Structure 1
Amino acid sequence: MKEHTPTAAAGNTPAATDKFSRYQVFIVAILAILQFTIILDFIVLSPLGAQLIQELAITPQQFGWVVSAYAFSAGASGLLAAGFADRFDRKKLLLVFYSGFILGTLLCGLAPDYFSLLIARIVTGIFGGVIGSISFAIITDLFPLQMRGRVMGFVQMAFAVSQVMGIPLSLYLANLWGWHAPFLLLVGVSVLVAAAVILYMKPIDAHLKLQTESKAVWRLVRVVSNRHYLKGFGAIVLLATGGFMLMPFASTFTVYNLGISLEQLPMIYMVTGLCAMVAGPLAGKLSDQLGKYKVFFWGSVISMVVIGFYCNLGPSPLWLVLLLNVVMFIGITSRMVSATALMSAVPDPADRGAYMSIQSSVQQVSGGLATMAAGLIVVQSPGGALQHYDVVGYVVITTTLVTMFSVLAIDRLVQRKVAAAAVAGATV
């Protein structure tokens, strides 16, 4: 297959006909599988909650600390990693943090008590929280802007795959051999992924020639004080708000407010996950062909309409709940894929690792704060139904509207960068 030569002039143009080389296909596949392991490790704790609370004899509040420990340690490590993220070969950096992630997951699989599990989740978060940013920096280094929508669509499909395949398999193993089993299986899969990276991924070090600062602290200060980068960080805060406010209470709202039984709940996750697996790559392809902001705009419109209707529903038939969940996930997926691809062009090549690390940190922390804010808004009645979930929906709609203007400013910034790069014969 013919190798692709990046051309900055194509930038954000609608006609993206570039073909992937075999090596690029490998990179997309290995990063998608790698993201699958990271995401599954993060989300598998929630469905294991009932079993963990019983077997470890802990309170729901203690379980909440186990879940949040990963997010906050990931946010802190992302910020700390920003100072040196661009000073190493990205392949080596990826392997170092992925090895730490595997160690943390192994500690989870061997944890005998609550305290050991809490420490293991902190270790896993410290290493796992940075891997996503390294992966996105690799994508930005190896793929030109007009191909990144498709790449992001496939890589972010990992969330849907973990929901459709990972969670059911993890629950099956947990019921068969105990809650440690999913983590130990994940260790085995991750070791194979690491071996593939070692054997087949080439060094990614072109950015090293562009480095100027010798001290990590000055690099961090320069990146966080760049006004263009601040626009990207602000957009990430707003993007994280929507999903992290709605999702933690979605299953409770579905069961107690919409009248869907616990037996029917897995079907909703399965169907929406399958649709998201299709929607991710499709949204990526459309964002490359039609323009990234255009796909983001219509994804936002779809999300706002469905969220406004969904959050005000009462008892509803299963088919309607399924339909609304599918359409809502299509809108949210379209927003995330197109926005991630667009914002990958914000940092300069020398700052990509630092920018992505800070962006990951901002996303983790803002997501945690959004979940806390939603918890302050909703109230559960004695019968189990959630009150004020409609207020959460209105907050998400408002932040979505603001995000549309924020991402529009980023789109115009990227277009100017693409035009300037085309004149200079450089890449974005």
Structure 2
Amino acid sequence: MKKTPAPPFSGYQKTVVAMLAFLQFAVILDFMLMSPLGAVIMPDLHIGPAQFGLVVSAYAFSAGVSGLLTAGFADRYDRKKLLLFFYTGFILGTVWCGLATTFESLLAARVFTGLFGGVIGSIVLAISTDLFPPQMRGRVMGLIQTAFAASQVLGIPVGIYLSNQWNWHVPFLAMAVFGLIGGLLVAWKLQPVNAHLGLPQEHSPFMHLFHTVTEKRYLLAFCITALLTTGGFMLMPFSSAFIVNNMGIDLHHLPTVYLVTGLCTIFIGPLIGRAADAIGKFRVFLFGTALSIAMVLFYTHLGHTPLWMLVVINSVMFVGIFSRMIPFQAISSTVPAQSQRGSYNAISASIQQMAGGVASVAAGHIVSQGADGRLLHFDTVGYVVVATSLVATTLLWRLQRDLPAATPRPQAAA
């Protein structure tokens, strides 16, 4: 059956997508900056890898807790007001990170930032689902997810440069100022997002949360989210160390790797979104899964590698990752009822953060460091990532197969 061409974006819709992508950029960059700055933060605060790992995972775990606490009332407020509330807390937390001078203060700052920043992504997804019909969501998710690539192209190299020029505090303070501009733009330009408030709601936030976590298809989607997140979070914390110590790439060339990979994904992200809308989201997901599995197995077995080859391998691997991430988010956006989108996305974000924290800890127990600095057993991490990808693909096939049959009915007001 021939697919109906997706309608073009209106002027306001283009503005909304740009603003949501900017917020995603700020939140993702805040999280991603920690890993490349670790080489500077650890000696400055006199902490070891275990303590630094705790700082990184503290954000993920606090964000996970925040998502669960938010889920009960996420659908009871105008999504614009909810977004601005949590984004304000996120900016304050980022300032706190920039002012931290001890391990304890940085740890507390990361916990605080996670409590607010961890919910923003779920609100962004709820808003994009409310404002865009299903036939446009592949493109929307593709554009919003370019924030991840933009954080690599613009954020990480600039953050490393600022840290090298001054100190590691400056990137966080600069990001807070930059992020504040985006928050003011959202407050000015984004219209209220409150259509869901006219739908039936439970009087009890607890029952609203209960009905969300006990819906069968929601649980299936949550499992897929956890599995896909596990793969990324097992690789990411140790990638820079693997590149430097195992591949023999000079530390000063890391920004080049991030820059080229990010440029590639910025270009490919919107194309993946269009392909998902045009030829089918699950088909694109299958392509992305096959490509990412092949590249992860290749990447985790590399030894000394020329810089140009690493850039190509890393770029292709991220194309595979994005080719499954974007269509999955588009499929996931069709799962919840409108009156439960806020709670569904909040729980999904919570599971994503917690799964990421667990995955980082698990990878830390798998990987060890040899006397020469080389990482050992990184190939085992690759095998685990492949296994989670295969299970996630099977579950998503089952989920998307049942999607046209019925949509969950919103619970009647108690």
Smaller-chain TM-score bracket = over 0.9
Which consecutive unaligned segments of at least 5 residues does structure 1 have?
1-11, 422-428
Structure-2 residue corresponding to 1:9: none
The Cα offsets for residues 228-253 of structure 1, whole Å up to 9 and x where unpaired, read as 10010011011111111122222222
SS at match of 1:203: coil
Name the CA distance, whole Å, in 2 between partners of 1:86 and 1:330: 34
The Cα offsets for residues 5-37 of structure 1, whole Å up to 9 and x where unpaired, read as xxxxxxx98444310001100100000111111
Give 2:251's match in structure 1, choosing from 240, 259, 262: 262
Name the CA distance, whole Å, in 1 between partners of 2:71 and 2:272: 29
The Cα offsets for residues 252-286 of structure 1, whole Å up to 9 and x where unpaired, read as 22233233332333322221111111121111111
Name the CA distance, whole Å, in 2 between partners of 1:22 and 1:101: 28
The Cα offsets for residues 194-225 of structure 1, whole Å up to 9 and x where unpaired, read as 11111111111111111321111111111101
Alignment of 1:255-294 (within 5 A): 255-294=244-283
Name the CA distance, whole Å, in 2 between partners of 1:262 and 1:49: 12
Q: Which amino acid aligns with 2:324?
A: R
Cα distance, 1:52–1:39 mapped onto 2, change above 3 Å = same
Q: Is the 8 A contact 1:13 1:291 kept in 2?
A: no
Name the CA distance, whole Å, in 2 between partners of 1:121 and 1:248: 16
Name the CA distance, whole Å, in 2 between partners of 1:241 and 1:249: 14
Cα distance, 1:387–1:118 mapped onto 2, change above 3 Å = closer
The sequence identity of aligned pairs, in percent, is: 52
Taking only aligned residues, the RMSD between alpha carbons, in angstroms, comes to 1.9
Moved more, 17-26 or 243-252: 243-252
Cα distance, 1:243–1:145 mapped onto 2, change above 3 Å = same
1:207 aligns with 2:167: no
Structure-1 residue corresponding to 2:127: 138
Structure-2 residue corresponding to 1:403: 392
Q: How many matched pairs? A: 409
SS at match of 2:34: coil
SS at match of 1:263: helix
Name the CA distance, whole Å, in 1 between partners of 2:39 and 2:307: 25
**TM-score normalised to the size of structure 2?**
0.94
Name the CA distance, whole Å, in 1 between partners of 2:72 and 2:202: 10
**TM-score normalised to the size of structure 1?**
0.91
Structure-2 residue corresponding to 1:84: 73
Name the CA distance, whole Å, in 1 between partners of 2:346 and 2:22: 20
Q: Is the 8 A contact 1:134 1:356 kept in 2?
A: yes
Moved more, 53-62 or 245-254: 53-62
Q: Is the 8 A contact 2:157 2:258 kept in 1?
A: no
Q: Which amino acid aligns with 1:204?
A: V
Alignment of 1:24-423 (within 5 A): 24-417=13-406
SS at match of 1:339: helix
Give 2:9's match in structure 1, choosing from 20, 33, 38: 20
Q: Is the 8 A contact 2:123 2:346 kept in 1?
A: yes
Q: Which amino acid aligns with 1:261?
A: D
Which consecutive unaligned segments of at least 5 residues does structure 2 have?
410-414
Name the CA distance, whole Å, in 2 between partners of 1:228 and 1:55: 47
Moved more, 399-408 or 358-367: 399-408
Cα distance, 1:19–1:53 mapped onto 2, change above 3 Å = same
Moved more, 106-115 or 289-298: 106-115
Structure-2 residue corresponding to 1:425: none
Once the two structures are TM-superposed, the CA of residue 406 in structure 1 deviates from its matched residue by 0.9
